[in-house]
Chain A
Amino acid sequence: MRYLVLLIVRNAFRQKLRTILTVTGIIVATVAFGLLRTAVDAWYGGSEATSATRLITRNAISLVFPLPLSYRNKIQQVEGVVATSYSNWFGGVYISEKNFFPQFAIEPRSYLKLYPEYVLSPQEKRAFFKDRQGAIAGRKLAETYGWEIGDVIPIRGTIYPGDWNFVLRGIYEGASEKTDETLFFFHWEYLNERLKQVGAERADHVGIYVVGLENASQAAEVSQAIDDLFENSLAETLTETEKAFQLGFVAMTEAIVMVIEVVSFVIIIIIMAVTANTMAMSARERKKEYATLKALGFPGSFIAMLIYGESVIIAMVGGLLGLFFLYPAADVFANKIGTFFPVFKVTQETAWLAIGIAFLVGLAAAAIPAWRGATIPVTEGFSEIG
């Protein structure tokens, strides 16, 4: 057994250049695969960070249509609802269109109560509550643009025209790694005052209501109860769990997620072809050796074991090294794309998957050569010219 292992390891590094090339190929593939998987995870990131005790109520037609502010009291009275808050998507532009980050007008006190994962120090919280022009931003967002507390942040409105200036009163930290730290919040009142001044129809309207539940098991009944309240009214509502709400966005861009998934699959096939190629060559070169071993009385399964072992060792070395490089690569990538993906972290699942796939590639690549090596008649092995 010891000799078998030794022979396999020696064999694997006999053709140094070829082995190095193959390992390099597997490293590249592992990194690429890991990055794509992480990108897909990041895509679903918004729905992962949701809470089961929150519902989102929006206009039934689509998010573009607002809901009257007067709905809040009615929602608050529904059985099972413990808290309500609301927010408006602001969708403004900071300096240029390239700097995209989500901005929400919120009712600060109730909203931050419903979202305990946005952690602010008590002083910052107070400062934010007190200043109607105040705003808070996520840590990652503030770092991206180098904002400090007290800075004035000018944002040009697209949905709500005009130039808006906000004073940064706090920088929140995420409670967990999954928390989105790229958001920007300011006072809904500030927005509403200005809308009232110009007499816009949209004054006293909110984008969505966030509803806090007593316990998560009531989600279905409470959603139904809220929607029943406003049936046949001027603005019918659609209430769903926060997760379903976020997944709705992902579903709309599903085609792109699918493309990425197909591509990660293609990577695996390519690298399989490359590794299989290496193994096919090694086996071809060693036909004489295999024939010799067989003539000495070693069974075909021994030959197969040799080839499988060699292939798996090469693939695993590549896979492990690839994993080692994946983490710094993901960090570089996360810095490059800035706030496009709020959370870009390689999960443990991705790491295991990458290793598992490397192992499978090793096995699959050896299949044909091993079968050939095991079944080839001794005489043919001696007479063959590579």
Chain B
Amino acid sequence: MNLPYSYILRNLWTRKLTTLLTAIGMALVVFVFATVLMLSEGLEKTLVATGSPDNVIVIRRSAETEVQSVIDREQAAIIVSLSNPAYGPAGKPLVSKELMVLMVLTKKDSGKPANVTVRGISDTGLVLRPQVRLTQGRMFHPGAREIIVGNKISQGFTGIGIGEKLNLGLGEWTVTGIFDAGKTGFGSEIWGDVDQLMQAFRRNAYSSILFKLVDPTNFEQTQFRIENDQRLTVEAKRESQFYAEQSEMMSRFLEILGLSLSAIFSIGAVIGAMITMYASVANRTAEIGTLRAIGFPQQSILQAFLLESLALSFMGGIVGLAIASLTQLLTISTMNWQTFSELAFTFTLTKEIAWQSVLFSLLMGLVGGFLPAIRAARMNIVDALRTA
């Protein structure tokens, strides 16, 4: 036979201040736990969504990132001939020779500099990335000094509205459009015509070649053909894999940071819960003695106290998760160490993270409440009654 639940909840209600303080502690821990997971998730989502598994990106061997890669025109022509690409709507082969450079722009909110990616694309560059849509203005004209900018750039930086001029390399460029790249990393880029940009930056070589596979299952053969050609020193990767690798350092850093913080914080929260529960037991010695004398077994006393602790931590968990879900409105914009360029991503809450956070808080409640509950259950009835 068990103690009624109302008894448990009433006990929490009696000590409002203590309950509140413990729950706040728990809520904050869950908040940190959840936001760090959300941050990693957001980063991953952004990078995984950036590349498409049907696309292949070719960069110079051991270059690691597009910025460091150089593919001269001759090599580019060979790669195009080996690529066997899919064909687009106008009967054009879906190959884009691209240039990638970084330039420093000033952030709106902080006035601080940031390295922004400027990407030169061939006219098929947009078709190869169906996740990118123009939302305002128009596409740049090939052969003109015009650029389109990603939505995250136009929000985060100064002087990049439609019709405004931007100095790139030699000469001025006009912004003709703003594109929305969904949750992908392209939202942090500026795009223009590859040949025009190469002239402006006086570069005589591309950075990478992107093409769409005719048959997505055929990747290994294509890769083999390109990587083993005697005339080339390049590597080919699926675009999705390429972008995932770009952020390994970042993800790892966030993971380590998150796990160590959660570990340290949870110690604090467990201690908080323990203090509360021990006091709860000490204050109710006489009560517990009475309950035992009436005939409630040890087990139901144990259960009652554990449930009390779990209820407490559950409240904290829900509140913490609620606060954490508000962070979805924020965008984090930072430099990716590996590519050295600006990357914006958002906190992303998934069902899994929500579950994990609530479970995490319950676990803290369980650990914190366990010893006090055992103490309550093992009290000697006679001694307990004497204290009253």
The distance in angstroms between the C-alpha atoms of A256 and B62, with both chains bound, is 28
Q: In angstroms, how far is the closest chain B Cβ from the Cβ of A257?
A: 9
Judge if A382 is at the interface, Cβ distance under 8 Å. no
Q: CB-CB contacts of B38-73 with A at 8 A, as 1s and 0s?
A: 010000000000000000000011111001100000
Given A269-B28, A277-B275: A25 and B268 interface contact (C-beta under 8 Å) = yes
A62 touches B17 (CB 8 A): no
Judge if A255 is at the interface, Cβ distance under 8 Å. yes
Q: Pick the interface stretch among B84-92, B137-145, B328-336.
A: B328-336
B61 touches A266 (CB 8 A): no
Q: CB-CB contacts of A9-25 with B at 8 A, as 1s and 0s?
A: 00000010110011011
Q: Give the chain B neighbours of A4 by CB distance below 8 A.
A: none
Residue from B204, B233, B261, B272 in contact with A277 in the complex, judged by beta carbons closer than 8 Å:
B272
Judge if B301 is at the interface, Cβ distance under 8 Å. no
State which residues 237-255 of A face B: CB under 8 Å: 248-249, 251-255
Judge if B10 is at the interface, Cβ distance under 8 Å. no
The distance in angstroms between the C-alpha atoms of A64 and B340, with both chains bound, is 9
The residue among A17, A266, A277 with the most chain B CB atoms within 10 A of its own CB is A277
Q: How many residue pairs, one in A and one in B, have C-beta atoms under 8 Å apart?
A: 151
The distance in angstroms between the C-alpha atoms of A201 and B15, with both chains bound, is 75
B201 touches A61 (CB 8 A): yes
The distance in angstroms between the C-alpha atoms of A53 and B273, with both chains bound, is 55
Q: In angstroms, how far is the closest chain B Cβ from the Cβ of A19?
A: 10
The distance in angstroms between the C-alpha atoms of A97 and B233, with both chains bound, is 20
Judge if A285 is at the interface, Cβ distance under 8 Å. yes
A277 touches B18 (CB 8 A): yes
The distance in angstroms between the C-alpha atoms of A242 and B17, with both chains bound, is 53
Q: In angstroms, how far is the closest chain B Cβ from the Cβ of A376?
A: 14
B261 touches A263 (CB 8 A): yes
Judge if A52 is at the interface, Cβ distance under 8 Å. no
Q: Secondary structure of the A side of the interface?
A: helix
The distance in angstroms between the C-alpha atoms of A27 and B332, with both chains bound, is 32
Q: Give the chain A neighbours of B22 by CB distance below 8 A.
A: 273, 277
Judge if B21 is at the interface, Cβ distance under 8 Å. yes
Judge if A278 is at the interface, Cβ distance under 8 Å. yes
B101 touches A62 (CB 8 A): yes
A252 touches B334 (CB 8 A): yes
Q: Pick the interface stretch among B120-128, B187-195, B223-231, B276-284.
A: B276-284
Q: CB-CB contacts of B202-230 with A at 8 A, as 1s and 0s?
A: 10110000000000000000000000000
Judge if B163 is at the interface, Cβ distance under 8 Å. no
Residue from A21, A65, A91, A271 in contact with B275 in the complex, judged by beta carbons closer than 8 Å:
A21
A61 touches B169 (CB 8 A): yes
Q: In angstroms, how far is the closest chain A Cβ from the Cβ of B316?
A: 10
Residue from A22, A24, A161 in contact with B63 in the complex, judged by beta carbons closer than 8 Å:
A161
Judge if A132 is at the interface, Cβ distance under 8 Å. no
Q: CB-CB contacts of B7-22 with A at 8 A, as 1s and 0s?
A: 0000000010110011
B271 touches A274 (CB 8 A): yes
A281 touches B279 (CB 8 A): yes
Q: In angstroms, how far is the closest chain B Cβ from the Cβ of A334?
A: 14
Q: Give the chain B neighbours of A281 by CB distance below 8 A.
A: 18, 275-276, 279
Judge if B236 is at the interface, Cβ distance under 8 Å. no
Q: Give the chain B neighbours of A61 by CB distance below 8 A.
A: 101-104, 168-169, 201
Q: In angstroms, how far is the closest chain A Cβ from the Cβ of B361?
A: 13
Q: In angstroms, how far is the closest chain A Cβ from the Cβ of B120?
A: 14
Q: Pick the interface stretch among A135-143, A152-160, A177-185, A209-217.
A: A152-160
Judge if A386 is at the interface, Cβ distance under 8 Å. yes
Q: CB-CB contacts of B293-337 with A at 8 A, as 1s and 0s?
A: 000000000000000000000000000000000000000111101
Given A274-B271, A276-B21: A255 and B333 interface contact (C-beta under 8 Å) = yes
Q: Give the chain A neighbours of B67 by CB distance below 8 A.
A: 64
The residue among B25, B202, B205, B332 with the most chain A CB atoms within 10 A of its own CB is B25
- Residue of B at shortest CB range from A60? B104
Judge if A119 is at the interface, Cβ distance under 8 Å. no
Q: Give the chain A neighbours of B149 by CB distance below 8 A.
A: none
Q: Give the chain A neighbours of B283 by CB distance below 8 A.
A: 284-285, 386
State which residues 28-56 of A face B: CB under 8 Å: 28-29, 31-32
A270 touches B25 (CB 8 A): yes
The contact sample of 24 A-B pairs, CB cut-off 8 A, is A21-B275, A29-B268, A61-B101, A61-B201, A63-B340, A91-B68, A159-B63, A248-B112, A251-B110, A252-B112, A253-B335, A254-B110, A266-B31, A267-B265, A267-B268, A270-B24, A270-B269, A273-B22, A273-B25, A274-B268, A277-B21, A277-B275, A281-B279, A386-B283
Query: B-side interface residues toward A, CB under 8 Å?
Result: 15, 17-18, 21-22, 24-25, 28-29, 31-32, 39, 60-64, 67-68, 101-104, 110, 112-115, 168-170, 201-202, 204-205, 233, 253, 257, 261, 264-265, 267-269, 271-272, 274-276, 278-279, 282-283, 332-335, 337, 340, 342
Query: A-side interface residues toward B, CB under 8 Å?
Result: 15, 17-18, 21-22, 24-25, 28-29, 31-32, 60-65, 91, 93, 97, 156-159, 161, 201, 234, 248-249, 251-256, 259-260, 263, 266-267, 269-271, 273-274, 276-278, 280-281, 284-285, 368, 386
Which 9 interchain pairs have the tightest Cβ spacing?
A: A252-B335, A251-B112, A255-B334, A273-B25, A25-B271, A274-B272, A277-B21, A281-B279, A62-B102
